[in-house]
Structure 1
Amino acid sequence: MSASKPPNLSKLVLLILTRYALLLGFIIQSLRLLIAECGHNPVRYFAILSMQRSGSGWFETLLNSHNNVSSNGEIFSVLDRRKNISSIIQTLDRVYNLDWFTSASKNECSAAIGFKWMLNQGLLENHKDIVEYFNRRGVSAIFLFRRNPLRRMVSVLANSYDRYAKLLNGTHKSHVHSPAEADALSRYKPVINSTSLIHDLQETENSAAKALEYFNTTRHIVVFYEDLITNQTTLKQVQEFLNIPVKDLSSRQEELENCIAYF
């Protein structure tokens, strides 16, 4: 048998380069179209303003299940980031100045970027400068509260106890992910100080009222945790508020209302 001729390497290399050039041209053209399209869909900034044990963690996981949303946790839980208004503004700039189109926006044109911010993390004390910043940068506020402050108080006490008791196999979890975990945590029955109960509940309601008053000039929406559980249109309203496509959202966290004894 006669030996087959070796392939012409120069032609093979030329063919490969030609195909890569066509592919590269297609990618560049697609990027140009994407950039042109995204230019009409700017990144939208938001902040979830809430209180501890009000369902903000679960709410944030719902938002993050949307491929147009990136909510980045409780960034002001770190004290140095909120020690004064200068550090607060610097932290806000770090979040909102990032190139979200190539990172947390998940490569979608329409993106909503934000984080959680608790009312007791420098928000109320520095509200004037923060409101000015929100209005200047176009940051929308999503207020998330609970209609039943007593249940929130029970949740705060139970969570504080579990931080030291570590009821789930020696670990502390602020949020539950299964009915079994909820059942384990619900075995603890916190004791409420009846003497200060009314005062404590009023303080919670006063903080929420102050926040709404201070931020009434911002673009904002008020959401109640109980409505997220019982009203299917509430999440739709939040997505419309953020100007993102309305989609079905889900979370791996167990809904708090499924754990009434604990929360």
Structure 2
Amino acid sequence: MDDLFATAARPDDATTARIHVGTGGWVYAPWRGGAFYPEKLVQRRELEYASRQLTAIEINGTYYGAQKPATYAKWRDETPPGFLFTAKAPQRIMASRRLAGTGAQVEDFVGGIAELGDRLGALLWQFDRGQSPALDELAAFLDLLPERAGGRRLRHALELRDAALFTPALLELLRARNVALVFAGSDEHPSWADLTADFGYARLMQSRADLAEGYPGRELDEWARRARQWAGGGDPDDLPHLGGVQAPAAAREAFVFFIAGAKERNPAAAQALIARL
């Protein structure tokens, strides 16, 4: 059984090593019984297994409720060196009617999740449909997000789902604060790929149940190319941009997650992309 927990091969060149690929969460019943998790694998070892097949996981459960610091420390210790988590901020923060007053809640969330240590890749701050903060409100909220925690620099990513919020002024705001604009690979949400930080963040939401790897091979090839461009300092010109393609810049980290869609296919999609890298 322990042979199942050998860490899968990681990219061995500097550019692709900066690319982190995975799924949203790791607890999902249809992934069991041989679909992704081996038959008879006990649930308490699922993170241990998943973190050796993928290079990142976005923690979605934190959106519904933060965990105790000891739980984050346990997750950290179950994963191999080089593996990264990202995590969605709690809904109670994101749905607040007075964002500028959530400082204590932000500090509480960040203080706990800092226990992930060097496994913490980024924090995702997602405003859902119907949550449309004015630009000055958003600026005041972003000012609450700490730059460091537990002695480590933090990365922050922002996902918006109100098309009216996507303006050149938004890009200027995010770039001034080094906050990444999330690219939503979706036909239901606004999807803009403008780079606004020293890392990129994509959440791909269109996996198909009738495809074993969730996406056609050519689409996975395209995402492997785009991820390499991001990591190498480039900006893929075949993705939609609100403010135009950026000139080549310094190397950056890149996160690509397969979320929603035909969720049962997402681990295979992530593994197929990792294989292409």
Would you call these one fold, judging by a TM-score over 0.5? no
Higher-Rg structure is 1
Q: Shorter-chain TM-score: what band?
A: 0.3 to 0.5
RCO higher in structure (CA 8 A, sep ≥6): 1
**Which of the two has greater helix per residue?**
1
Normalised to the residue count of structure 2, the TM-score between the two structures is 0.34
Name the one with the larger strand percent. Answer: 2
